Amino acid sequence: MRPSSPPPAKTAPPLSWQFMRLTSSYWNSERKWTIRGAALLLILLTEAQVGLAIWISYWNRELFDALEARSLHDLLVLGATFMLIFVLTMLVTAVHLHVKRWLQLDWRRWLTTRLLDYWMAHARHYQLQFTSGEHDNPDGRIAEDIRIATEAAIGLVLSLLYSLLILGSFIDILLSVSGSLPIPGTNLEVPGYLVLLAFLYAGGGTVLGLLLGRPLIKATNRLQTVEANLRFGLARARENSESIALMHGEGIEHRQADQLFADVSRGWNRQTFGYLGIVSFSTGYGTLLPVFPILIAAPQFIAGAMSLGILMQAAQAFQKLTSALSWPIDNLGELAKCRASADRVISLYNDMLLLEERASNPVEHRIDLHTNKGDELALRGLSLANPDGQVLLENLDLTIQRGERVLISGDPTLTIALFKAVAGLWPWGHGEILLPAGQSIVFLPQRPFLPDGTLQAALSYPHPSGHFSDAKIQHALSCAGVAWLAPRLEESDDWDRVLPLRAQQRLGIARLLLHHPAWVFIEEATDAFDVQGEESMTEVLHRELQGSTLLTISFHSTLAHFYTRKLVLDRICEDKYLTCSPEPAPCALREP
């Protein structure tokens, strides 16, 4: 079997555009009126902020005129007016912040749920490990990059809206107060010359800032990737702390963590150099901004063409206008951060969509897993392959009836691949797997999953705590040989850390006895036991699960007498495979 040739490459739209297309569904969801209402309220509150800024501008003008005229009455009136502006500013700002953060969280919740729906469906969280693409650290992309992308996007849009409204409002103010600048030696004048200077000042600053800050986008993207790698590496060390301690691997883990941090340091330094030019320029640009318009308009004030209040209003309007025009350069770092996170989110989403498309594409070599009409498990022309297309096994035909006891042994790669294929985790290959209809199936891996929480919850998993009675739980614990854990049912702990592997495997078997499924697939779930303990536990399984079908992967020949059939899967070289036999007999050699 050869993997199908890839389709012709298509020019995909930029990742940022794909992210916008993905998240547009949020604004058109079933809650669209609530979401759009919050967005409209934010727009109105932003307009209110701009209105207050305009009010402050005229208040400042009147204040300096009152000071110039030494009018105590006007000063007292302006003081009372300022208190009203102060209260309204605080109120609008508080409501604006609350609505903005609600919308950011709601959008993040929606997008997180969207990606979790794909990630946790059809074992994609498992299959992504074996597929190529830009989806490293998917947990970090879902938890952190979605947060950054949604928070930054809303913040940037609102700041852009504010800047545009300020731009439109203060152009008019600056035109009205700046007057005209005569050109020496001519009768010509430049009307609204401060507006022109504001555009030139901000335009020059933006162009220079964009040129200086160009390296920042790539540096930020790279830094977020290596930061995620460091978090993942440290989490992996924490999760495997017992094994590392037993093997005295702290030195290697420390060196690996140092290497990961060295990558972070290099990424940090690159981002520092990216920031260096833009921050240095921005500092000088911002320092000159308050002084520049006063120096330019001062001759008109000295000549008596404008009052002190008009001079200060012109200077403030100039600052507001240039700040609005400088929005791109002021938000370059945040834009880079938002874009990098959005790209990481959409890359993960696209790779999960690709998995979904391949699963539903009949041209692809995929194992067809569906339900049988009867009460038997059937494998029809089943071939197993690695994710890269290398064939592991070809054309396996097998039928297992309800109630049979089958021992599976042979090559570990093949046996585990078959186990995962029946579980729906291993789609690589072709052929059919027909599962018995309407019958419960449980897969017991070598190391059972024990979620954090109470022991009772771990035993009831995936059902909620309290699904089984205490009497049934205690009976299952007793049968599995861990009755000593019964007093700890209500205790919460990290059970996969505090218990040895043998106790964990016994808990997995106790959970299996509680659920009492019709079909049981067991993957070396007693390999931590000694020979006598393994035989004793196998006898318990056969006694307590009467009527259930047991398919057990084991490489211990001492268990063969418990089973009515034996399936041996073996490979002997690169070009020849040992096929499967339903009987406990040697496998036949076959040329593929």
Reported as a single tens digit per residue, the pLDDT across 45-85 is 999 998 898 888 888 888 888 887 788 888 888 888 889 98
Separation of CA 274 from chain center: 26
pLDDT at 138 over 50: yes
Q: Which band of pLDDT confidence, cut at 50, 70 and 90, is reported for residue 339?
A: confident
Number of neighbours of residue 244 by Cβ within 10 angstroms: 17
With both helix axes pointing from N to C terminus, report the angle between 146-178 and 72-119 in degrees, rounded to the nearest 10: 150
Instruction: Please give the pLDDT value at position 145.
Output: 85
Judge if pTM exceeds 0.85: no
Instruction: Please give the pLDDT value at position 100.
Output: 92
Average confidence (pLDDT) over 9-15:
58
Structure tokens at 256: 């690996």
User: 129 CB contacts (<8 Å, ≥6 apart)?
Assistant: none
Q: What is the DSSP string of 81-116?
A: HHHHHHHHHHHHHHHHHHHHHHHHHHHHHHHHHHHH
- Rounded CA-CA distance 446/323 in Å is 62
Answer whether 4's CB lies under 8 Å from 363's CB.
Answer: yes
Whose structure tokens read 């089973």? 563
Of 96-110, 131-145, 247-261, 266-280, the range with the highest mean pLDDT is 96-110
Average confidence (pLDDT) over 235-246:
75
Please provide residue 369's backbone torsions phi and psi, each rounded to the nearest 5 degrees. -110, 115
pLDDT at 178 over 90: no
Cα dihedral angle (521, 525, 530, 532), rounded to 10 degrees? -30
Average confidence (pLDDT) over 115-138:
70
Q: Are strands 577-578 and 565-571 parallel, antiparallel or unpaired?
A: antiparallel
Instruction: Please give the pLDDT value at position 105.
Output: 92
- Rounded CA-CA distance 88/492 in Å is 50
- Rounded CA-CA distance 334/337 in Å is 5
Q: What is the DSSP string of 330-364?
A: HTHHHHHHHHHHHHHHHHHHHHHHHHHHHHH-TTS
pLDDT at 436 over 60: yes
Type of residue numbered 480 = A
Q: Are strands 565-571 and 549-553 parallel, antiparallel or unpaired?
A: unpaired
Instruction: Please give the pLDDT value at position 585.
Output: 36
pLDDT at 41 over 90: yes
Task: State which H helix or E strand residue 27 sits in.
Answer: helix 15-27
Answer whether 466's CB lies under 8 Å from 424's CB.
Answer: no
The predicted-structure confidence for 340-379, as pLDDT tens digits, reads as follows 888 888 888 777 777 766 666 654 557 887 887 778 888 8
Q: List the one residue out of 416, 501, 523, 486 whose CA is nearest residue 450.
A: 501
Average confidence (pLDDT) over 149-176:
85
Instruction: Please give the pLDDT value at position 515.
Output: 87
* Gyration radius of the chain's alpha carbons: 35
Of 166-180, 219-233, 259-273, the range with the highest mean pLDDT is 259-273
Type of residue numbered 337 = K
Q: Which band of pLDDT confidence, cut at 50, 70 and 90, is reported for residue 492?
A: confident
Dihedral sign (CA 22, 27, 32, 35): positive
Cα dihedral angle (156, 264, 233, 346), rounded to 10 degrees? 30
Question: In whole angstroms, how far apart are CA 198 and each of 60, 191, 306, 326, 522?
Answer: 20, 13, 19, 10, 74
pLDDT at 40 over 90: yes
Q: Which band of pLDDT confidence, cut at 50, 70 and 90, is reported for residue 133?
A: low
Spatial strand order of the sheet with 429-435 comes to 368-371, 429-435, 376-385, 391-401
Average confidence (pLDDT) over 475-483:
88
- Rounded CA-CA distance 166/320 in Å is 7
Structure tokens at 408: 């599976």
Instruction: Please give the pLDDT value at position 358.
Output: 65
Quote the mean pLDDT of the chain. 79
pLDDT at 579 over 60: no
Structure tokens at 13: 């739209």
- Rounded CA-CA distance 390/381 in Å is 17
Average confidence (pLDDT) over 545-562:
82
Number of neighbours of residue 306 by Cβ within 10 angstroms: 20
Instruction: Please give the pLDDT value at position 181.
Output: 62
Q: List the one residue out of 415, 507, 417 whose CA is nearest residue 454.
A: 507
Instruction: Please give the pLDDT value at position 198.
Output: 77
Instruction: Please give the pLDDT value at position 6.
Output: 46
Please provide residue 385's backbone torsions phi and psi, each rounded to the nearest 5 degrees. -140, 160
Q: How many helices (H) and strands (E) does the chain have?
A: 19, 15
The 3-state DSSP class for residue 385 equals strand
Of 22-26, 49-53, 165-169, 269-273, the range with the highest mean pLDDT is 49-53
pLDDT at 26 over 50: yes
Instruction: Please give the pLDDT value at position 48.
Output: 93
With both helix axes pointing from N to C terminus, report the angle between 308-325 and 292-302 in degrees, rounded to the nearest 10: 150
Number of neighbours of residue 130 by Cβ within 10 angstroms: 13
Question: In whole angstroms, how far apart are CA 153 and each of 19, 305, 338, 564, 576?
Answer: 11, 45, 7, 62, 56
The answer to which of 51-55, 127-131, 358-362, 540-544 has the lowest mean pLDDT is: 358-362
pLDDT at 220 over 60: yes
The answer to which of 326-330, 432-436, 449-453, 587-591 has the lowest mean pLDDT is: 587-591
Of 16-20, 89-93, 429-433, the range with the highest mean pLDDT is 89-93
Average confidence (pLDDT) over 407-421:
83
The predicted-structure confidence for 373-392, as pLDDT tens digits, reads as follows 778 888 888 888 877 777 77
- Rounded CA-CA distance 414/418 in Å is 6
pLDDT at 539 over 90: no
pLDDT at 215 over 90: no
- Rounded CA-CA distance 33/383 in Å is 51
Instruction: Please give the pLDDT value at position 237.
Output: 83
Q: Are strands 549-553 and 519-523 parallel, antiparallel or unpaired?
A: parallel
- Rounded CA-CA distance 502/480 in Å is 11
Instruction: Please give the pLDDT value at position 9.
Output: 45
Q: List the one residue out of 282, 274, 277 whose CA is nearest residue 327.
A: 282
Answer whether 319's CB lies under 8 Å from 296's CB.
Answer: no
Taking the alpha carbons at both ends of the chain, their separation in whole angstroms is: 10
Instruction: Please give the pLDDT value at position 95.
Output: 93
pLDDT at 203 over 70: yes
